[in-house]
Chains A and B, each alone.
Chain A
Amino acid sequence: MAKNKDYIIEKLKQQIADFKSAPAVLNTGRVVEVGDGIARVAGLSQAMMSEMLEFKTAAGPVFGVALNLEEESVGAIILGDGKKIKEGDEVVALKKILEVPVGEGVVGRVVNPLGEALDGQGDIKAAKFYPVEKIAPGVITRASVNQPVQTGIKAIDAMIPIGRGQRELIIGDRQIGKTAIAIDTIINQKGQNMKCVYVAIGQKESKIAGIVAKLQEHGAMAYTTVVLAGASDPAALLYIAPYSGCAMAEYFLDKGEDVLIIYDDLSKHAVAYREISLLLRRPPGREAYPGDVFYLHSRLLERSCKLNKDYGGGSITALPIIETQANDISAYIPTNVISITDGQIYLQPDLFYQGNRPAVDAGLSVSRVGSAAQIKAMRKVAGKLRLEAAQYRELAAFAQIGSDLDKETKAKLDRGRRLMEIFKQDQYSPSPVANQVAIFFALTAGLLDTVPVEKIGEFEKGFSAYARNNGQKLLDEIAAKGELSEEMEKKLGTLVADFKSTLDYLIKKED
């Protein structure tokens, strides 16, 4: 006991002796006007754009960011409780950009955009502090995308594959399954050597509580950070939330790791920015959004990239989410973000209500990275699927007329119907890549043509269970090698045929 006490006293004395503080000259000002989450400050003649400010209030320091530099005053947003600030309070410019704590300490936690813990599990131990605003990596530092992000969703991994370092927009109306795609992707990153950051902007806190519970249930919180700026948080926090999340992801990027970041959703982010801009009296543009709303999202999404080996080889894959009103993808914010991202996953309400969930519209959805982000095995079996889905869509309208069709058209229709059945997937059940390769192989080889369309779903479930018991070695080989050789194809064919012969899928399962 005595040893510990002396050791601690020694350490303290040493730290105090080592303590160097050089007081610096700071620029100050006075609050002239405060309210609605923004403050106007007179003085601060040397404040810089996006500089962090400290309001010295009676109840302690409150932080803010200088956003409007005018001739006689500075307009700032308040990151915290604006009620503590009174007119006449002193404001100091801290000569740095807003920083957030980053490091391993944020993994598995729910934090607010300033890095404060919200899950009641103690303070965040930060390895470093990263600035929220950062210039995106330049052209020379980047490499082209070549590794896949396995979302576990068959429709996406087959037809609109996503690579590590790509930005893929998830766009659709409300209640269509946008967040569901994002959460399934996070759940499927188990064992894929990816860290995940889920940034919730303006979402209901109850929804986020449900999401965190689901992620914990599937063991995903072990590699996920949730940055939460809830619906009742001030617009200033909603504004910086995605940048904070990106800063936390950049810590792992700099270490050479791969990160998946999801911005849910950027429509609410644009609305929060519009609110701040209008309060700061910036001139409104189209739909009352400020003139730089494109820059708002482009500087955020450009920070998601794949770096080349000289810079660590890490990547940040971004899945921004945009909510459209009445399916209108030609509105202002959706068109902005579509032009920034490397592709979009478009979710259609028609498909949703017809029962095709996830309601991915294969025609309008695109991935500009494409098959460069697929493993060879998947490329082999799923390469033609996009075309087949498109052809089916063309013919399906035809088939509704009910006239006599020739054999080829009928075959295409049958194949297409089975393909659509395979693309249907339950929520929270991501499909491992080897299983996907197996089922697509079965479809394209014609092995599923004799299975009734309405039994395809059960066939697939049954086949998964069967393969786990009898063919796991083969599936592991496919997953490990990423290839499908002639021999493996033959083995896979035999496996499917064996399962078919058991005819288990024709008997309805009593669950």
Chain B
Amino acid sequence: MKITPKQYAEALVQALEGQSGAASEKLIANFVRLLAAQNDLGRAEQILERFGDVWRRQQGLVEAEIISARETSEKIQGAVRNFIARTTGAKTVSLAAKTDKALLGGFILKYGDNILDGSLKSRLAEMRIKLLND
């Protein structure tokens, strides 16, 4: 029976729960040996990716990215963090902020696999389509 990367990742997360530093190192070494025995070392990258997803979900950690036309202040970033925490039930939100002049205004917020597009560029495109069709 084939073991999916997700199953490997979940197993690893469960195993590492509440373990101290030294014990964790031993566990990880064992895990790598398991992968070798199962001939699954080639999928190590995928498993690491899944591990990241599962770990974050378990810890209630959401990674988000906000791309805006101008610099965002701490106040705005805090409000965004609260919004994400409220809608996803996450305990911690790590927000990466970027700027992109091409947006003309507003921002694009990406968190988890959701995207909130409030950029002026997109709204102008929407308006263009609406005006052309009416």
Q: Which residues of A contact B (CB under 8 A)?
A: 12, 15-16, 19, 21, 23-29, 43-46, 71-72, 92
Q: Assess the B114–A28 pair: CB atoms within 8 A.
A: yes
Q: Which chain A residue has the least Cβ–Cβ distance from B87?
A: A25
Name A28's contact: one of B6, B113, B123, B134 (CB within 8 Å).
Answer: B113
Q: How far is the CB of B42 from chain A (nearest CB, A)?
A: 17
- Which of B12-20, B33-41, B61-69, B124-132 is found at the contact surface with chain A? B124-132
Q: How far is the CB of B133 from chain A (nearest CB, A)?
A: 9
Q: Which residues of B contact A (CB under 8 A)?
A: 4, 6, 87, 110, 112-118, 122-123, 126-127, 130-131, 134
Q: Assess the B134–A21 pair: CB atoms within 8 A.
A: no
Name A25's contact: one of B6, B115, B123, B130 (CB within 8 Å).
Answer: B115
Q: Assess the A26–B131 pair: CB atoms within 8 A.
A: no
Q: How far is the CB of B36 from chain A (nearest CB, A)?
A: 24
- Chosen A-B contacts, 19 in total, with CB atoms closer than 8 Å, are A12-B131, A15-B131, A15-B134, A16-B127, A16-B131, A19-B130, A21-B123, A23-B116, A23-B117, A23-B122, A24-B116, A25-B114, A25-B116, A26-B115, A27-B113, A28-B114, A45-B112, A46-B113, A71-B6
Distance in angstroms between the alpha carbons of A71 and B53 in the assembled complex: 14
| A25-B87, A25-B115, A72-B6 known, 17 other contacts, Cβ within 8 Å | A12-B131, A15-B134, A16-B131, A19-B130, A23-B116, A26-B115, A26-B116, A27-B113, A27-B115, A28-B110, A28-B113, A28-B115, A29-B113, A43-B113, A45-B112, A45-B113, A72-B4
Q: How far is the CB of B43 from chain A (nearest CB, A)?
A: 13
Q: Assess the A26–B117 pair: CB atoms within 8 A.
A: yes
Distance in angstroms between the alpha carbons of A12 and B117 in the assembled complex: 25
Distance in angstroms between the alpha carbons of A29 and B126 in the assembled complex: 21
Q: Which chain B residue has the least Cβ–Cβ distance from A23?
A: B118
User: Total A-B pairs in contact (CB under 8 Å)?
Assistant: 41
Distance in angstroms between the alpha carbons of A72 and B114 in the assembled complex: 16
Distance in angstroms between the alpha carbons of A23 and B119 in the assembled complex: 9
Q: How far is the CB of B47 from chain A (nearest CB, A)?
A: 13
Q: Assess the A21–B126 pair: CB atoms within 8 A.
A: yes
Name B115's contact: one of A15, A19, A92 (CB within 8 Å).
Answer: A92
Distance in angstroms between the alpha carbons of A97 and B112 in the assembled complex: 24
Q: Assess the A23–B123 pair: CB atoms within 8 A.
A: yes
Distance in angstroms between the alpha carbons of A24 and B112 in the assembled complex: 15
Distance in angstroms between the alpha carbons of A46 and B88 in the assembled complex: 13
Name B113's contact: one of A24, A44, A71 (CB within 8 Å).
Answer: A44
Q: Which chain A residue has the least Cβ–Cβ distance from B83?
A: A25
Please give, as numbers and ranges, the residues of chain B lying within 8 Å of A46 by CB-CB distance.
113
Scoring A16, A25, A72 by chain B CB atoms within 10 A of each residue's CB, the highest score goes to A25
Closest 10 CB pairs of A and B: A43-B113, A23-B118, A28-B115, A25-B116, A21-B123, A25-B114, A19-B127, A21-B126, A26-B115, A23-B117
Q: How far is the CB of B53 from chain A (nearest CB, A)?
A: 10
Distance in angstroms between the alpha carbons of A410 and B97 in the assembled complex: 96
Q: How far is the CB of A91 from chain B (nearest CB, A)?
A: 10
